[in-house]
Structure 1
Amino acid sequence: MQLASPQRIVRERPENLAERIYSLLKDDIFEFRLLPGDRFSEGEIAERMAVSRTPVRQALYRLEREGYLEVYFRSGWQVRPFDFHHFEELYEVRIVLELEAVRRLCERPAGELPEALELLRRTWMVAPKERLQDGREVSRLDERFHCLLVEAAGNREMARLHAEVSEKIRIIRRLDFTQGPRVELTYEEHARILGAVLSRRCEEAQLLLKTHIEVSKAEVRKITLHMLHSARQRSLATQG
């Protein structure tokens, strides 16, 4: 288990410690420095980060509420094992919400399209030389693309639920942008989806969107399994 260096947080003000520890541990989970199934105690984290147990406990319980950790009475904490069936269900919910959002957007009169769609058009319908190449930034913009589509449909509860689902699948979804070709394809696919929405071609827009999400889901599952295997091998080599 290789956690964030304590030097990164010892100078933080006390009121910021829990937030900082939360961010560092979440990054450790996302980057597979903490692997699914890894177990540890509050004391271990506090010692490594050179802080008291109180902010560590606050950060750990927040990660537990968000579904990244499990707590065991008298036996410490564990990184929640990946449940791909659960991820599949979350992706299904996401698809339902986004397809409904597209339907609502396509049914709006031409003069009533939200400004959010123009923002998305300026971001994604650009020349190849204007496309970003940084995977982390494209991952952030990709999530924002899909969230804005739902927000633009005008139902706040749909948008809230979609945001919650997006947060829960972010740990694997972001891996889609570790591959260069996937970055380029995302620009092309988003542009086609937007073009269909702006032209009120509802069935085409929905088909493009559903295919886009399902292909991404398949890619991130494959990449996740590969990265987990590689991380496990490195961990075993270190222990040996």
Structure 2
Amino acid sequence: MKLIKTEKVRKKTDEPRTNVAERIYQTIKDDIFSFRLLPGERFSENEIAERVAASRTPVREALARLQREGFVEVSFRSGWQVKPFDFMKFEQLYDVRIVLELAAVKKLCEMEPAPNLEDLKRIWLVRPEDRLEDGPSVCALDERFHEQLVEATGNAEMARIHHEITERLRIVRRIDFTQANRIEATYEEHAKILRTIIERRAEDVKSYLKTHIEASKAEVRKITLHMLYEAQQQHPSSH
């Protein structure tokens, strides 16, 4: 890895420390999400500090935040490590997400007056030729679709818990949108869920939503295993 000249390093460290820590946090998180840092891979604070042109203090702050969120772990003897994938944990998070979202859509079907879903309708109830095709963009919209369904209930605590689960699942969920057929399926299924909420068919929408999330969970596991295998072939020395 090519090191940045000292002048540039000094300029970077002129940033407020909170900004530097945030920048480093986003950089490492993106590396984990993109499999540039593989599950189980070890690294030191010094390596990160050199790479992002910063001192060790904001690097440590960024890593502590990632540790709290469950993305990395630290060992006294061997430094930092990207947390190995724990599919059991991800499946448990998916199960909690299903419980929350089923409760949310049931409430949406029963609310008086009916919830305001106009923003969601503008995005998802569109003609096939008007659909987005960019995976990361659709992934972000998919995440917001599910969060907005929960937010529309008006239950702030349910929305907060759901958001935390969404954050922890993001590393695997975004992988679901690397396949064109999954993007198309997401549009079709979201439109069906929305129309059913509008028609206030609570039991039907719960069935559609559960099937939708379960399909995503199964697809994510399959694609993640494949992508991990591919990434490990390119970085054999990391294991």
TM-score of the aligned structures, taking structure 1 as reference length = 0.92
CA offset digits 1:138-165 (Å, max 9, x no partner): 1000000000101111211111100000
3-state SS of paired residue (1:100) = helix
Tell me which amino acid in the other structure corresponds to 1:101: A
- Which residue, out of 64, 71, 75, partners 2:74? 71
Which residue pairs with 1:140 in the alignment?
140
Deviations 1:102-155 (A, max 9, x none): 11111123xx1222x111111101001111111111100000000010111121
Letter in 2 for 1:223: I
What is the distance in 1 between the residues matched to 2:191 and 2:38?
36
- For structure 2, the residue ranges without an aligned partner over 5 or more in a row are none
**Structure-2 change in CA distance of 1:6 and 1:232 (3 Å):** farther
Q: SS at the partner of 2:90?
A: helix
Unmatched 5+ residue regions in structure 1? none
SS of residue matched to 1:78: strand
Residue matched to 2:230: 230
Identity among equivalent pairs (%): 62
Q: Which residue of 1 aligns with 2:199?
A: 199
Across the aligned residues of Structure 1 and Structure 2, the Cα RMSD in angstroms comes to 1.8
Aligned partner of 1:93 in structure 2 is 96
In 2, Cα distance between the equivalents of 1:229 and 1:221? 12
Q: Letter of the aligned partner of 2:36 in structure 1?
A: R
Provide the residue aligned with 2:57 in structure 1: 54
CA distance in 2, matches of 1:33, 1:66: 19
Paired position in structure 2 for 1:165: 165
Match of 2:85 among 82, 86, 89: 82
* In 1: Cα distance, 2:226 partner to 2:184 partner: 22
Q: Could you give the per-residue CA deviations for residues 4-32 of structure 1, whole angstroms, max 9, x where no partner exists?
A: 9869x945424321111111100100000
Distance 2:193 2:133 in 1: 20
Q: Which residue of 2 aligns with 1:211?
A: 211
Report the number of matched residues: 232
- The CA deviation string for residues 174-228 of structure 1, in whole angstroms up to 9 with x for no partner, is 1111101111110010000000000011111011000000000000111100000
- Aligned-partner SS, 2:235: helix
Letter in 2 for 1:219: E
Match of 1:27 in 2: 30
SS in 2 for 1:154: coil
Once the two structures are overlaid, the 10-residue window that deviates more, 10-19 or 208-217, is 10-19
| TM-score, with length taken from structure 2 | 0.92
Conservation of the 8 A alpha-carbon contact between 1:176 and 1:220:
yes
Q: Is the 8 A contact 1:5 1:49 kept in 2?
A: no
